[in-house]
A and B are shown apart, each in its own frame.
Chain A
C-alpha cells in the first residue's frame, strides 16, 4: 500500500508580541512567579486585520508551496479553531477560495468536490482535522486534503489565561508519497469539563487547577500510551516529541510522566515565545519540528482539547522532506519577526476595547 501522511506544511505567527511582565504590571501582579510558573516569556497577538481566516490562508499558502502541488488537487479542508470569526458563516469556504481549491484561476469556476468543515474541539480541533483528511486520503476518496489549526485565543482581562492566550496557525496537506508518513493515530476522550465558553460569551471560563491532573495529563498520557501500544512502539523509538502547550510546564511534565527525555521536546516547544495558540499550538509545534527534521526520524505528536480529549500521531520522516524544507518561511522566521506592544495597544488589537 502507498505511504500516506503529510506532503506539505506551513505555519503563521503574527508579528505583535506582548511580554508577560507588561500584563502583570497592569494587573498589579508580581511577574516573576508567573514567568516561573508558566515558562512563557511573551505571546503573539494578531493584528487588527488578522483573524483565524487570514492566518489559515497564510499557513496554507506555505503548505501548498512545500507540497509543490496545484491547489485544485486539494479536495478537503477542515479548520479547527475556538475563534472562527463568525458564529455562523464558515471559515473554510473563504480559505478554500483564497487558496484556489476551486480553481487556480479565479474566474473559471471548476465544479469539483470539496469536503469542508469548521471544527471545534477546544485546542484539538486541528488535529481532528488531520485525522479526517488522512482517512479520506487512505480510503482513496481524495488525492489531497488540508487540515488547519488556528486561533486568536482570548483570555478574560486579568485572568490567568490572559498571560498565555496567543495567536497563530499551522496547515498540513495530507496525501500520498509524504514527507512525513503517518504511521498511526489514536484518540482518547472523556466528559471532563475543565475549560468552556458559552454561546455568545466573549471569554472562556476554566476549572483552574482542575485543568491539570484529571484533564490535560490524563488525556495526553492515555492517548500517547494508546498510540504506542497500537503501533508496538516504545519511548525510545521517538526522536522528537510534541505535546499540546497550554504553557511550557505542562508538556515537560507530561514527558516526565511518560518517561521521555525533555530534550526531545525542544524543537517543538515554541510556547515560551508565542504563547498558547490553542488549536494551533501542537500543530505549530509539529511544523517547527518538520522545519528541521531529518529523514529516518520518528516524531510523536499528542494534542489536547479541553472537555476533554487528545489525538496522538506517529510520523516517520522520509527523504522527501529535504527538498520541501528549502521552500517557504520557517516557524522560527515568524517567531523572530516581532514588534512589542504595550497593554493598551494589545487590548485595542484584540478587540477588548469596544467603543460602543
Chain B
C-alpha cells in the first residue's frame, strides 16, 4: 500500500493531464520524465494534454488489489497527442463489454475526475479515469 507522501507527490499528475514536450524533437511525454525517451534531451517544457484518446486494448479486472473494487475495466489508451497510457474506464456496464468480443477497442474516450481508491487508513485517492465519448 502506498504511503500518504507518495500520493501527495503524484497529485499534480493525477488531477490534470500535464505532461512534457521535448523542445528538441517535439515528442509529447506523459507521464512526466526528466529526459526525452526519444532523443534523451533534457530540454522539456510543461505541456497540457487534451485528455482525449482512443482505446487500444482493454481488459476486465476481476481480482483487485487492496483499496480497489472489482470488477473494473483497465485499458491501454492512445492519447491524441501520442503517448500511450494505462487508465481505468468508468461509466460503462461490465456486462455490455463482456458481450462484445472486441471489448472497447477503438472507442473514443475523454477524462473524468473520480475516486481511484481508498487506502488502508481511509484516505481517498482521487484522479483521472476515462469515459466513452
CA distance in complex: A232, B129 (Å): 49
Check A15/B91 contact, CB under 8 A, given A48-B69, A58-B113.
yes
| A57: chain B residues within 8 A (beta carbon) | 113
In the complex, are the beta carbons of B18 and A49 less than 8 A apart? no
- Sorting the interface of chain A by its residue count into under 10, 10 to 19, 20 to 34 or 35 or more gives 20 to 34
Question: Is the C-beta of B133 less than 8 angstroms from some C-beta in chain A?
Answer: no
* B84-106 interface (Cβ within 8 A of A): 90-91, 93
Q: In the complex, how many angstroms separate the beta carbon of B17 from the nearest chain A beta carbon?
A: 9
CA distance in complex: A347, B66 (Å): 22
In the complex, are the beta carbons of B112 and A58 less than 8 A apart? yes
Check A98/B114 contact, CB under 8 A, given A47-B90, A105-B46.
no
Binds A, one of B8-16, B35-43, B52-60, B75-83: B8-16
State the A residues within 8 Å of B (CB).
15, 47-51, 53-54, 57-58, 61, 85-86, 94, 97-98, 100, 104-108, 339
In the complex, are the beta carbons of B113 and A54 less than 8 A apart? yes
CA distance in complex: A105, B124 (Å): 23
Question: Is the C-beta of B32 less than 8 angstroms from some C-beta in chain A?
Answer: yes
In the complex, are the beta carbons of B115 and A49 less than 8 A apart? yes
In the complex, are the beta carbons of A85 and B124 less than 8 A apart? yes
In the complex, are the beta carbons of B129 and A49 less than 8 A apart? yes
17 A-B residue pairs with Cβ-Cβ distance under 8 Å, sorted by A, are: A49-B115, A50-B115, A86-B124, A94-B15, A97-B12, A97-B15, A98-B15, A98-B16, A98-B113, A98-B126, A100-B16, A104-B48, A105-B46, A106-B15, A107-B12, A107-B46, A339-B93
In the complex, are the beta carbons of A49 and B13 less than 8 A apart? no
Q: Which residue of chain B has the shortest Cβ distance to A97 in the bound complex? A: B15
Q: Which of A15, A51, A105 lies in contact with B115, CB distance below 8 A?
A: A51
Q: Which applies to chain A's interface (DSSP): helix, strand, loop or mixed?
A: loop
Question: Is the C-beta of B27 less than 8 angstroms from some C-beta in chain A?
Answer: no
In the complex, are the beta carbons of B15 and A50 less than 8 A apart? no
Q: A98-B126, A107-B18 are in contact. List 9 more A-B contacts (CB 8 A).
A: A48-B69, A54-B112, A54-B115, A86-B124, A94-B126, A98-B15, A105-B46, A106-B12, A106-B15
In the complex, are the beta carbons of B114 and A50 less than 8 A apart? yes
| A105: chain B residues within 8 A (beta carbon) | 18, 46, 48
CA distance in complex: A50, B115 (Å): 6
Check A53/B18 contact, CB under 8 A, given A107-B46, A339-B93.
no
Q: Which residue of chain A has the shortest Cβ distance to B69 in the bound complex? A: A48
| A61: chain B residues within 8 A (beta carbon) | 113
Q: Which residue of chain A has the shortest Cβ distance to B91 in the bound complex? A: A15
| A97: chain B residues within 8 A (beta carbon) | 11-12, 15
CA distance in complex: A154, B114 (Å): 20
Which 4 pairs, one residue from A and one from B, show the smallest C-beta to C-beta distance? A106-B12, A106-B18, A57-B113, A49-B114
| A339: chain B residues within 8 A (beta carbon) | 93
| A98: chain B residues within 8 A (beta carbon) | 15-16, 113, 126
* B4-28 interface (Cβ within 8 A of A): 11-13, 15-16, 18
| B32: chain A residues within 8 A (beta carbon) | 107
CA distance in complex: A92, B114 (Å): 15
CA distance in complex: A49, B115 (Å): 5
CA distance in complex: A51, B126 (Å): 10
| A15: chain B residues within 8 A (beta carbon) | 91
Q: Which residue of chain B has the shortest Cβ distance to A109 in the bound complex? A: B12
CA distance in complex: A49, B90 (Å): 9
CA distance in complex: A49, B116 (Å): 7
CA distance in complex: A58, B113 (Å): 7
| B12: chain A residues within 8 A (beta carbon) | 97, 106-107
| B126: chain A residues within 8 A (beta carbon) | 53-54, 94, 98
CA distance in complex: A107, B11 (Å): 10
CA distance in complex: A61, B46 (Å): 21
